[in-house]
Structure 1
Amino acid sequence: MQARAEAKMGLPAPLVALWSVRDGLLTESGVCVYSAGSIGERNATYEVAQYAPGFVLIGDDSGGRGFLLRADDLDSAVFSSGLGDLDPADFEVVSADFKSWIESLCPGLMY
């Protein structure tokens, strides 16, 4: 029920699926995937809707770079950008899809 509500709010389904197993994560390298409770605040703080409409900020590298997904694309690539420059024209693709990206961060994590 909660997953359906989150998906209706424009949250990417792969992220919601991860939350069903683990509510966010922080890797040893400092990569953070935001929890369900903090993602709204992070997106508001960085004004993602204004500067990168159609994207959702899903995490950061603990050093000024954010990770984003297209909100309406189940197979969205994972993009990276400096948090001070959320112009989609400047985004870099860091992974072809969310699941592959999570597996590269946390080998063996099943969701």
Structure 2
Amino acid sequence: MPLLNEIRTKIERDFHRQLPDIYFELLKFSNGFLFESGVVIYSPDEVFERNQTFEVQKYAEDYLAIGVDSGGISILIPFLGTGVFIVDQGSMDPNDMSKISDSLMNWFKAGCQI
């Protein structure tokens, strides 16, 4: 997975943050995910672009947007700590976030339900 490692290095350099290992471990199995529920988990090359577009590092600098519900709700994980959070893309304020799972792995195992 040399390309995945290159993308990770670029994102970490540009965000000035180390990315959660669990996210990239999951991406080793697929280049992003699309679930029947409409939940999309971004591919590695989409992560950077989506986080820039929604200015996540400006408004929620401790989080990484990893997906969307296909209806304007971003799915985020913290750079430090655990959990999966959702927030309206019009806000991106951590005070407006709702925690939907205690861990990314548990959320995946449960089918990425929102």
| Aligned counterparts of 2:6 and 2:60: Cα–Cα separation in 1 | 24
Flag the 1:4–1:97 CA change in 2: closer, same or farther, 3 A.
Answer: farther
Q: Structure 1 or 2: larger helix share?
A: 2
Q: Which residue does the alignment assign to 1:32?
A: 40
Q: Count the aligned residue pairs.
A: 104
- Name structure 2 gaps, 5 residues minimum: 13-17
**Identity fraction in percent:** 34
Aligned to 1:86, the other structure's residue is in SS state coil
Amino acid at match of 1:35: S
TM-score (norm 2): 0.83
Q: 2:109 aligns with which of 93, 98, 103?
A: 103
C-alpha RMSD of the superposition: 1.9
Distance apart, 1:4 and its partner CA? 8.5
The 5 Å alignment of 1:10-89 reads: 10-73=18-81, 76-89=82-95
TM-score (norm 1): 0.85
Deviations 1:2-32 (A, max 9, x none): 5487278132211100111111100011000
Deviations 1:27-77 (A, max 9, x none): 01100000011100000000000000111000010001010011133xx10
| Aligned counterparts of 2:83 and 2:6: Cα–Cα separation in 1 | 22
- Structure number with greater CO (CA < 8 Å, separation at least 6) is 1
Aligned to 1:30, the other structure's residue is in SS state coil
